[in-house]
Amino acid sequence: MATGKKPWGGRFRQPTAETVEKFTSSIHYDQRLYLYDIEGSIAHATMLAGQNIISKKDALKIMSALKAILSDIRQGKITFSPADEDIHMAIEKELIGRIGEAGGKLHSARSRNDQIVLDVRLFIRAEMQSILSLVDNLQRILIGLARQEIETIMPGYTHMQKAQPVLLSHYLLAFVEMFERDRQRLHECAKRINVLPLGAAALAGTGLPINRAKTAEILKFQDVSANSMDTVADRDFIAEFIFDAALIMMHLSRFCEDLILWSSDEFGFIEISDAYTTGSSIMPQKKNPDVAELIRGKSARVYGDLFSIMTLMKGLPMTYNRDLQEDKEPLFDAVDTVKDCLSVFAEMIMHTKFKKEKMFLAAQKGFAAATEIAEYLVGKQVPFRRAHEITGNIVAYCLKNKKELNDLTLKEYRQFNDRINGDILEKIKPEKAVNARGHKGGTAAKAVLQRIKEFEKNFNKK
């Protein structure tokens, strides 16, 4: 049997079995919350003293000892044991060991149930700022690349088939837009995270005269929770955050999928720096896009983290249940994974060379200008459905005769419709096709530059 007095052991007559102590302990992973646990405890002690629930003298002793404990943890002077159970009990035990009975007063008017929710909210709030900074940095890099590649033309794809010519800049900005929505979602999530749970206690609140608004003010929370039962039962904010992280990973994964394809000989659109690729243990010629592949693969981890938290919550009765101890490992994994992937992807994309000539040649092939012919005919007052059919016949003719659209003569074009004139040969050039789409959201250089300027203006306001 395990030894050691438990803070909750008053009604128990037998010590905890060692197997149970090991099985129920979370200190090996929730110790990373120590900063937030101490931050919350200092705020709680300040409020307790302000409400005369504990003396100011005891509060000062508590806060001084907590700051010393924080320093010692950071310096590696304190080690944790499974017998400590969790980070709350470990810090409380250390506190009481240093200042005696006064340390035992800190837990007045709170429970581990509202304490852990506070720690996790503070943790996510801090980590979210780091993630937002990483997203912001990646957007800036992509916007810089978009401006740099404003004349680079590439084929756009649907169904993995060449569709229409587009600017590489337009492609890059598509991901800037995706990451912008990710930023917006995180900011929205932050509003629901920034709610103080302390005061809910175990589930029903406390009969002591606490001042929740004061604690919220100290910890810079914008609001206090409205229902004590919901407060200790709620993990929606964790699920929402991991969902937002999963979407970031999905966007990174899609980008990586394209980079992996583009780095192949079959495409040859890019070359990723040697520093962000690896080789084969048996094939000397190989240069593998392993970083991109691992980011693509790690998206599955964060999806799994989301599935874990959703499954964990789906059948829990009100209010707090020990099952909720399992909420932290998927949260920590999601945070660590998305931060790592955003960081290394930003490095990799800055060390990726876009092969302009290869992209432009590809944009001239595969009948990517077919839509231009159809729209050209619409401009000649041919109904679109008829123009679509005529263009389809032209493509079929090219396939039969093993030609591209830019290989056809004006005479060949006119055999399909006599409204086609010499200007068709200019119309189907990739640069003309791209710059014909100058409307908002289009791929023309002027539209893309306008969107770049809008992003740059917004970034300068930050």
Tens-digit pLDDT profile for residues 436-449? 999 999 999 999 99
Distance CA 361, CA 359 (A): 6
| 354 in the same domain as 292 | yes
* Amino acid, res. 15: P
- Tell me phi and psi for residue 156, to 5 degrees: -85, 155
User: Is residue 5, in this structure, part of any structural domain at all?
Assistant: no
User: Is residue 343, in this structure, part of any structural domain at all?
Assistant: yes
Question: Is 264 part of the annotated catalytic residue set?
Answer: no
| 120 in the same domain as 56 | no
| 118 in the same domain as 27 | no
pLDDT computed for residue 2 by the predictor: 45
Among the candidates 50, 80, 108, a domain finishes at 108
Distance CA 363, CA 171 (A): 14
Which residues of the chain carry a pLDDT beneath 50? 1-3
Question: Minimal CA–CA distance to 367: which of 155, 75, 92, 149?
Answer: 155
| 144 in the same domain as 57 | no
Residues 201 and 111: beta-carbon distance below 8 Å: yes
Question: Is 280 part of the annotated catalytic residue set?
Answer: yes
Q: Is 209 helix (H, G, I), strand (E, B) or coil?
A: coil
- For residue 366, is it left (φ>0), alpha (ψ between -120 and 50) or beta? left
User: Is residue 459, in this structure, part of any structural domain at all?
Assistant: no
Residues 225 and 200: beta-carbon distance below 8 Å: yes
- CATH number for the domain that contains residue 120: 1.20.200.10
| 141 in the same domain as 90 | no
User: Is residue 387, in this structure, part of any structural domain at all?
Assistant: no
User: Is residue 340, in this structure, part of any structural domain at all?
Assistant: yes
pLDDT computed for residue 81 by the predictor: 87
Is cis: bond before 352, omega within 30 of 0?
A: no
Residues 26 and 325: beta-carbon distance below 8 Å: yes
DSSP H or E run through 335 = helix 328-350
| 92 in the same domain as 130 | no
Tokens of 46: 């300040």
User: Is residue 410, in this structure, part of any structural domain at all?
Assistant: no
| 120 in the same domain as 100 | no
Among the candidates 83, 108, 133, a domain finishes at 108
Q: Tell the residue number behind the tokens 């600017």, with chain if given.
A: 167
User: Is residue 375, in this structure, part of any structural domain at all?
Assistant: no
Distance CA 379, CA 69 (A): 76
| 162 in the same domain as 23 | no
Catalytic residue, chosen from 159, 169, 228, 351, is 159
Which are the contacts of 79, defined by CB distance < 8 A and separation ≥ 6? Answer: none
How big is the CA angle at 75 (ends 69 and 78), to the nearest 5 degrees? 55
| 349 in the same domain as 317 | yes
| 309 in the same domain as 268 | yes
Bridge partners of 271, per DSSP, are 353
| 183 in the same domain as 270 | yes
Residues 338 and 248: beta-carbon distance below 8 Å: yes
DSSP H or E run through 227 = none
- Our count of domains for the chain comes to 2
Residues 224 and 196: beta-carbon distance below 8 Å: yes
User: Is residue 389, in this structure, part of any structural domain at all?
Assistant: no
Its domain, for residue 257, covers: 113-361
DSSP H helical ranges for 104-167: 112-148
- CATH number for the domain that contains residue 47: 1.10.275.10
Catalytic residue, chosen from 55, 264, 273, 280, is 280
| 185 in the same domain as 46 | no
What distance separates the 2 farthest-apart alpha carbons in the chain?
100
Among the candidates 317, 341, 361, a domain finishes at 361
How big is the CA angle at 226 (ends 223 and 231), to the nearest 5 degrees? 95
Question: What DSSP string describes 10-67?
Answer: GG-SSPPPHHHHHHH--HHHHGGGHHHHHHHHHHHHHHHHHTTSS-HHHHHHHHHHHH
Distance CA 77, CA 70 (A): 10
Distance CA 120, CA 221 (A): 13
pLDDT computed for residue 260 by the predictor: 98
pLDDT computed for residue 83 by the predictor: 83
Provide the 8-state DSSP code for 166. E
